[in-house]
Structure formats: structure tokens, C-alpha cells
Amino acid sequence: MDTVIQQFGSYLEMERNFSPNTKKAYLSDVEQFYHFLKDAGKSGRIPVSGWEGVSHLDVRSFLAVLHRSGIKKVTIARKLSAIRTFYGYLIRQGKLKSNPATLVQAPAAEKYVPQVLSVDEMFRLLETAYRPDLAGFRDKAMLELFYSSGLRLSELAGMNIEDLDFGQCLVRVRGKGSKERIVPVGKVALASLRAFIDRRSIALEKKGGGTLRPLFTGCTGSRLNVRTISRILHKYVVKSGMDRKVSPHMLRHSFATHLLDAGADLRAIQELLGHESLSTTQKYTSVSIGKLMEVYDRAHPKAK
């Protein structure tokens, strides 16, 4: 079974063009299901001789265990999708004739309102005092670009210098599934990026020349990973005096919400964020409506 899962990983990468993060999640989900079946088979509750011995009742039992463990519904739905995709792969390979996961309904996902920073909070974060050295200029440029273009954390970490177009005020972004999109960049963010790149070029010349392809790097010249960027953001959140937890994704949420509050079209925001489905973008409308109600309650003489 382990060999089949490894082959499934190659299928996700080569034929389905899944992103590394999605591929990793799907493989982990299938492996978790495999261990569940293995343990259940040993206990005598579900005899499993192979993937062909699995029924829709086994899949439901697996989801029930996840639910009792307190796993979020959206995560359970993803695991079910991974199992469906895995069995679809086995059918495609001619190893099975039916997919037991298609008979199992995914749990209804919880509706949640994205957590965002207010415009004032966003400005306070970006106007925090940054150190006047190369790392400070890098951090300033990184956070300005993060908010200015609404990038995902992985997209920000994967940026290269050639992705920037200062003349057109655009940036090329490699999103999920290796899909590319072109996103505008504000002039303030571009000025911060130019200041950082100029200083980095001077530093490289002092070290004997050379060029660096990654846009945001550490002191050794290697690309910053997502964990390091998250730590950098946390440092400036604390420094700005905000008494709240701010995740990197909140900057992306804030980007979308602030555009929507200012009257931007939902379809345009969908393109900027790189969402395949408009329904994914529509979650920001609840934030905007909440703000409208707040303004209404405060301003209308008959609201109270």
C-alpha cells in the first residue's frame, strides 16, 4: 500500500499539477486513512486486505473518528476529497472498479468571517520604525508588498527579482498549482522594494559581486522560508503595539476587505487574489456588510 501512495504522489504532481503544499496534505490524508484501516483491521472491526476491501462505511467510520477528535469540518472535507481523488487514481490505473468515497457526503463547512486589520492598524504596522540596515529595508519592503498585492505567504516567499516590473507597477505571482497571475503593486510598496534592492546590490558588490535571484533572502543569501517571514511579521506586530494575534494570512484578508470597502468589484478582487471560484472570494462580503451595519448604527438617527 505504501508504494501505491508514493505513486499517487507522483500522479498529483505530474498529471494533476498540484502545488507542493496540497500534494503534501493529500498524501498525509491518505496515509492517515491507511493507518486507520490498518488499526481497524487488526482490531477485527474492519477487515482490510487491501484498498479493494474498503467500503463507504469504512470511509464514514474514519470521518466519524475525525469529528469526535474535534477536527474542523473544512479539514474533514479536505481529507474526504483526498480519499476520493486517491480512489479515482486507482480506478484510472485499472486497479479498482468503484470509488467508495463517492457515496459519502462531505460535512457542511463552517461559515466564518475572516479576521482582518483595520486600515489604521495596517498603517500602524507598516509605519513602525524599521532598522536602518539591510534587514530593516528588506522587512519594510516585504510587508509593504504583502499588503499592497494581497499575496499568499508561500507566494511572497517564492518571489524572484525578475517577477517585479517597476515600469508597469506590476508583479508576476506563482500561485497554487503553478498558476501565474499578474497583480498591481502600489507606488509606496515599489519605492520600498527599490530602496531595498539598491542597498542589497551595494552589499553584494562589497562582497565581491554576484546576483541573487530570490527577492527576499537571509544574511546567507538563501531564500526566506514561510516560517521566517511569519516570525518577522510577528516581531513588527509586537513592535507596533498591537495587542492582538496577527497571522500572515490576515494581511491578505485585509487587502481584500479594504478594497471591497472602498467599492472594488468582487470579480476584480477574485482575480487579484487568484481564487478559482467566486464563492471563495464572497466570504469577504460578510466583513464589508458588517462594517456597513456599524456605520449605519452609528450614523442613522433612527438606527437605535
Residues forming the active site: 152, 176, 249, 252, 275, 284
Question: Looking up cell 497571522, which residue turns up?
Answer: 247
Nearest to 120 by CA among 26, 240, 234, 296: 240
Give CA–CA dist 267/280, Å, rounded.
11
Q: Which DSSP string corresponds to 86-149?
A: HHHHHHHTTS-S--GGGGSPPPPPPP-PPP---HHHHHHHHTSPPPSSHHHHHHHHHHHHHHHH
Q: Which DSSP string corresponds to 233-298?
A: HHHHHHHHT--S---HHHHHHHHHHHHHHTT--HHHHHHHHT-SSHHHHTHHHHHHHHHHHHHHHH
